């Protein structure tokens, strides 16, 4: 080999080595930036920065696997600063006035010196997969408050009328200094068990004269409610609301005393005229004091964390299963086979599960 060729080869090797070094340095810088960004985001969330909180929630809601590690790191970093709030689940059928009630209740709490986070979970459009109702536009006064944070989220395919990452969102809001978390659920007849499993107090909103009084003796959501509040108890509807209150009280006597030793209460209010809101807060404070004194409050939180762990395992297993390249291909094949009546759903499922184990 000539000295000229040898020199060129040597130069090429140097250039290649230099390029690799540059790429490695860029990768290291990118990783550092990523770490710094999550660290900075966490610090801003802990300072109560609303923009940072919104960005953090968007990150944990992401379905992209590349965001999972950062989302987990963020949650772990915020966890020591959480668990300092009271979490209140609010449900009721559409038209009962949930948004009006939450706005009135939220404004009242802010007047009491509280910081209020509202996680309003809207039904999801089956077409666009977006949120239909847009609670933020319906809480015009509350959204302007310095100490209020409203996060509307589409419910997606999640049962229980809550978004998939509601638990993680609660942690972030608590870390940001919000001491009252209000979770508004879809309330369209889905199982409300999931809501119950992530809140300290479960409030069921009802209307008078809607036929709900007779439904009261049925088990289910009534059994889970810590309080029933009859909304729109104003004007001509006031007498009907008082009658409904008596009927619901009778219905609640059919249920045995709860483990927390709390006898569910029935209240009336007019969210539109801000009447009776103070009594509802007094009732919740009484509940909190009772359950903290008899340690049920803390025991319930521990049980919720166990449930959260099990749910996280389910989610991760499902994510891992569907993200496997061989499963993606086999899934389409099995779906086509079902369409053509060449296999059964059970046989197809077994085939896919067996494939995942290989």
Q: Would you give the distance in Å from CA 176 to the centre of its chain?
A: 16
Q: Which residues, other chains included, contact 232 with Cβ-Cβ below 8 Å and sequence gap of 6+?
A: 97, 207, 208, 241, 270, 271, 272
pLDDT value at position 126?
A: 40
Domain boundary, last residue among 256, 277, 297: 297
Edge-to-edge strand order for the sheet containing 227-231? 148-154, 116-122, 180-184, 86-91, 201-207, 227-231, 265-268
Which pLDDT score is estimated for 125? 41
- Per residue in 105-123, pLDDT tens? 999 999 999 999 999 865 5
Ranges of the chain whose pLDDT falls below 50: 31-35, 124-134, 157-163, 189, 191, 213-218
Do residues 200 and 176 both lie within one domain? yes
Range of the domain at 15: 3-76
Q: Looking at the structure, tell me whether residues 312 and 171 fall in a common domain.
A: no
175, 273: one domain: yes
What's the CATH number where 316 sits?
Answer: 1.10.287.130
pLDDT digits (tens, 9 = 90+) for 264-312: 999 999 999 999 999 999 999 999 999 999 999 999 999 999 988 888 8
pLDDT of residue 120: 82
Q: What is the pLDDT of residue 154?
A: 56
Q: Rounded to 5 degrees, what are φ and ψ at 174? A: -65, -40
Query: Which tokens go with 18?
Result: 């230099």
- Considering the domain architecture, whether residues 135 and 52 belong to the same structural domain is answered as no
Residues 8 and 6: their CA atoms lie apart, in Å, by 5
Q: How many distinct structural domains can be found in the chain?
A: 3
Looking at residue 61, what is its pLDDT?
85
Entry pTM = 0.80
What confidence score (pLDDT) does residue 159 get? Answer: 40
- Residue 214's CB: how many other CB atoms inside 10 A? 9
Whether 62 and 95 share a structural domain = no
| pLDDT tens, residue by residue, 28-60 | 555 444 445 899 999 999 999 999 999 999 999
Q: For residue 191, what pLDDT is reported?
A: 46
The reply to whether 246 and 291 lie within a common domain is yes
> Residue 86: what pLDDT?
97
| Residues 244 and 267 grouped into a single domain | yes
pLDDT at 186 (0 to 100): 66
């Amino acid at each position: 080999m000539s000295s000229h060729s040898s020199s060129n080869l040597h130069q090429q090797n140097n250039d290649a080595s230099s390029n690799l070094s540059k790429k490695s340095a860029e990768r290291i810088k990118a990783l550092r930036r990523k770490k710094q960004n999550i660290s900075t985001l966490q610090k801003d969330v802990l300072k109560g920065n609303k923009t940072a909180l919104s960005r953090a929630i968007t990150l944990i809601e992401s379905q992209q696997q590349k965001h999972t590690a950062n989302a987990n790191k963020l949650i772990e970093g915020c966890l020591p600063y959480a668990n300092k709030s009271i979490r209140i689940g609010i449900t009721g059928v559409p038209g009962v006035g949930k948004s009006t009630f939450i706005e009135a209740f939220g404004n009242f709490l802010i007047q009491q010196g509280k910081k209020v986070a509202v996680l309003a979970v809207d039904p999801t459009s089956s077409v666009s997969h977006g949120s239909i109702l847009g609670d933020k536009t319906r809480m015009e006064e509350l959204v302007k408050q310095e100490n209020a944070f409203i996060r509307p989220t589409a419910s997606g395919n999640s049962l229980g009328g809550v978004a998939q990452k509601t638990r993680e969102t609660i942690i972030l809001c608590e870390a940001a200094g919000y001491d009252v978390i209000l979770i508004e659920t879809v309330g369209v007849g889905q199982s409300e068990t999931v809501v119950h499993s992530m809140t300290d107090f479960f409030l069921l909103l009802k209307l008078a004269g809607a036929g709900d009084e007779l439904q009261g003796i049925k088990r289910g959501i009534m059994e889970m409610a810590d309080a029933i509040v009859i909304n729109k108890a104003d004007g001509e509807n006031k007498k009907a609301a008082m009658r409904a209150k008596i009927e619901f009280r009778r219905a609640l006597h059919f249920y045995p005393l709860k483990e927390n030793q709390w006898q569910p209460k029935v209240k009336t209010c007019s969210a539109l005229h801000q009447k009776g809101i103070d009594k509802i807060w007094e009732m919740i404070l009484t509940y909190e004091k009772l359950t903290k004194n008899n340690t049920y409050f803390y025991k319930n939180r521990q049980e919720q964390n166990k449930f959260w762990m099990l749910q996280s395992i389910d989610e991760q297993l499902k994510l891992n299963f569907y993200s496997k390249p061989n499963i993606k291909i086999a899934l389409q094949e099995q779906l086509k086979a079902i369409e053509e009546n060449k296999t059964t759903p059970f046989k197809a499922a077994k085939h896919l599960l067996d494939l995942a184990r290989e």
